[in-house]
Chain A
Amino acid sequence: MTDTTRQGARGGQHHGGESCSRPSGQRWRIVPPRGPETGRATLHRLRTGLALFAGRLATNTSKRLGLGSGGIIGGRVALALQPELLGELVSDKRVVVITGTNGKTTTTHMVAETLRAAGEAVSNATGANMLDGHVAALMTRPRADFAALEVDELHLAQLTERFQPAVLLLLNLSRDQLDRVGEIRSVEASIRQALAKAPRSRVIANADDPNIVSAAFDHPDVVWVSGGCRWKHDALNCPRCGAFLEEVDGEWKCVCGLRRPRPDWTVDDTGLIAPDGSHEELSLPLPGQINRVNATFALAASTALDVAPRAALERVRAVQEANGRYEHTVLAGRTVRLLLAKNPASWLEMLDLVADNTRPLVLVVNSREADGHDVSWLWDIDFERLAGRTVLVTGERALDLAVRLRYAEVPCEVTSDVQQALHSASITGSDQPAEVIANYTAFRDLFAKRQRQ
């Protein structure tokens, strides 16, 4: 079918768009038919609109029924109606994607804060870190300038199949939930494949973690961050060839050529050294070297997106907690600090944090789907260093933990839940805050409980 119309802006805009330029003086033009392309585009737009509407409806309904924040269900509904929604929602945004075994949520929080120095930023702040969670988060602020998205290590490839983020942060890789996630080699290979699909992204990666370096080594645009690496047991051997690495405590290298890259950003005891050689003091409300490293990743990300460094630094210094992590709060009438530890590397970091005080300790371990059903990793942790502390254990796997502590000769009391632990006679005499270290679902439940209070 062919149609003609009189010269006019309306017709041109409607059907032809910019591609139909007319010689001057021509009083008429041929308007292309409303062919299958245009029809499909309209359908696509309608479908996107419908998906957003249905997704928001699902979110609101879920919230109203008290089924949670509604984040994931809204994203799932919207994605089911429009599988290409993620790519569309990020098309006009500069996106920072954060992945790694530990520190994703905290770093995502920091990245979002630094970006807010330059514009509106949206993020999947609740840790729903697969595609439906990303869509759900992006739907809440469709007009934001930036997005900071935490992504599960094994879902990065799904994400880079759909779009190339402006910046991609690779924090660290260590053993975690082996019955669900699998072994580190396969995770590293999956991240490497994901990066191959995002050659235009700026990658910011950990120079001290051989597994991360192996994943990022072949990418054309990598900025390297160094802040040390406490947990070494998953990186004594080369991720690529299996040979024993030389000098694992510093300038590590392998006979096959894989080696520690020269870092662009370094964070040590004195502070932060930026790529231009400038030095900044870096004291944060969040404790530990690990959070100084996380903050450095956030600053490197915001620098890549031209956020003013001074403003970004101020923002990152203002972060007090991230989704309950490191937060001082009141549980069962007692002041506690909530710490998340879900694998040997993060337990090592958290035990470092509590080593400099004598507060009562409550340790909580569950083994649900999201935690992994296998808790053998409890034996990779040096609980021997808790000797002399008052320790209470609870959670679904309290007995595994109690046996581990018995062999470490750390006396402990098994309690039915955290409430009972915090009221135990062994700690009611102390007026110090208690340290509560919990693994993933245990932490999540405690955080929800304290929010309801």
Chain B
Amino acid sequence: MTEAPLTDESTVRIALVVPDLLGTYGDRGNALVLAQRLRWRGYRAEIVTVLSSAESLPESCDIYLLGGGEDVAQQAAVSFLRRGNGLRRAVDSGTAVLGVCGGLQVLGTRFTTGDGKHHAGLGLVDIETRPGADRAIGELGTRSELPGIGVLTGFENHLGRSEVGDDARPLGRVLHGTGNGADGVEGGVTGRVVCTYLHGPVLARNPALADTVLSWAVGAPLDGLPDFPELERLRAERTRVRG
């Protein structure tokens, strides 16, 4: 993508990728949060919804968001995203991508579905997923290893257990909850591709992560936004909750 910082006149385009397949857990909320945090800072933002009936994924977007979905939907999402390979080119040019839950598995190298079948992921993050013995469901808290983010809070609901390979690093260390279910870590990051099991949606509960992703898209650090008290209180409440 463009190297120069975007001016206030530019529009930041946020792609909501195949929400008909990957969009089970209020995942659209991540796009709403990003767009609104841009508008509050005087940027123009546009949410581009790309359904699986589209020819292929447009490459002109500044942020790509992938949500959660069921096994069959995940496989359909992989075959859609392979078509044209636009997401790979976008990632190679430094575009920000956020994958949540099923999105994590789709962006990873490989996932095994509940029926025991192996499927190749898009391979944009070195992370591999196998089914666990039971679903991990509940509040999840982590301490992020990305700079300036701190504690992440969200809700997890997944059967998959994911292992972060050598070419990626975890998004955070688990404080409570299951996370990836291996090595006490959660999520995975390679460059500007961020994957996580946190929803809630994750960017609604964690404005620091939202602003990090936005600064990547805009190409410059962003001005702070005045905190609103409900969000502060929500984060305090949710990080206290266990289970």
Contact = CB atoms under 8 A, between A and B. Distances in A.
Interface of A: 175, 178-179, 183, 185, 233, 236-237, 242, 244, 373-374, 376-380, 399-400, 402-404, 406-409, 414
A147 to B, nearest CB: 35
Contact of B234 (A376, A377, A403): A403
A400 B73 contact: no
B155 A373 contact: yes
Interface stretch (B25-33, B88-96, B103-111): B25-33
Interface in B1-43: 19-21, 23-29, 32-33, 36
10 tightest Cβ-Cβ pairs between the two chains A and B: A379-B29, A376-B26, A379-B26, A402-B230, A399-B234, A236-B20, A244-B53, A376-B25, A374-B155, A242-B76
A244 B237 contact: no
Given A237-B52, A406-B231, 4 more contacts: A183-B70, A237-B73, A376-B27, A403-B234
Interface stretch (B58-66, B172-180, B197-205, B213-221): B197-205
B73 A242 contact: yes
Contacts, number: 86
Interface of B: 19-21, 23-29, 32-33, 36, 51-53, 70, 72-73, 76, 137-139, 155, 157, 199-201, 204-205, 228, 230-231, 233-234, 237
Contacts of A403: 204-205, 228, 230-231, 234
A234 to B, nearest CB: 9
A399 B233 contact: yes
A59 to B, nearest CB: 33
Nearest to A377: B26
Contacts of B199: 374, 376
Contacts of A178: 24-25, 157
Contacts of B205: 403
Residue of A233, A237, A373, A406 with most partner-chain B CB within 10 A: A237
Contact of B52 (A179, A244, A373, A376): A244
B51 A406 contact: no
Given A178-B157, A406-B230, A233 B23 contact: yes
B230 A414 contact: yes
Contacts of B76: 237, 242
Nearest to A236: B20
A183 B158 CA distance: 11
A377 B25 contact: yes
Contact of A236 (B27, B51, B200): B51
Given A233-B23, A237-B21, A185 B70 contact: yes
A399 B231 CA distance: 7
A184 to B, nearest CB: 8
B204 A407 contact: yes
B20 to A, nearest CB: 4
B30 to A, nearest CB: 8
Nearest to B205: A403
Q: Which residue of A185, A236, A374, A400 has the most chain B CB atoms within 10 A of its CB atom?
A: A374
Contact of A237 (B20, B137, B234): B20
Contacts of A373: 137-139, 155
A400 B51 CA distance: 28
B204 A379 contact: yes
Contacts of B32: 379, 407-408
Nearest to A232: B20
Given A374-B157, A379-B26, A406 B228 contact: yes
B46 to A, nearest CB: 16
Contacts of B138: 373
Contact of A242 (B27, B72, B200): B72
Given A185-B72, A237-B21, A407-B204, A399 B26 contact: no
A374 B202 CA distance: 12
Nearest to B32: A407
Contacts of A379: 26-29, 32, 201, 204
A420 B8 CA distance: 43
Given A178-B25, A379-B28, A404 B204 contact: yes
Contacts of B21: 237, 242
Contacts of A175: 24
B152 to A, nearest CB: 15
Nearest to A409: B36
A25 B59 CA distance: 97
A410 to B, nearest CB: 12
Contacts of A402: 230, 234
Nearest to A398: B230
B87 to A, nearest CB: 19
Contacts of A380: 26, 28-29
A399 B237 contact: yes
Greatest chain B CB density within 10 A among A179, A377, A379 is at A379
Nearest to B67: A376
Contacts of B72: 185, 242
A372 to B, nearest CB: 10
Nearest to B73: A242
B20 A244 contact: yes
Nearest to A175: B24
A377 B201 CA distance: 9
Contacts of B137: 179, 373
B19 to A, nearest CB: 8
A406 B231 CA distance: 9
Contacts of B51: 236, 244
A238 to B, nearest CB: 10
A241 to B, nearest CB: 9
5 contacts: A179-B155, A399-B233, A403-B204, A403-B234, A406-B231
A183 B155 contact: no
Contacts of B27: 376, 379
A242 B53 CA distance: 11
Given A237-B73, A376-B25, A399 B230 contact: yes
A414 B29 CA distance: 21
A244 B21 CA distance: 9
B29 A376 contact: yes
A400 B234 contact: yes
Given A179-B137, A183-B70, A237-B21, A376 B155 contact: yes
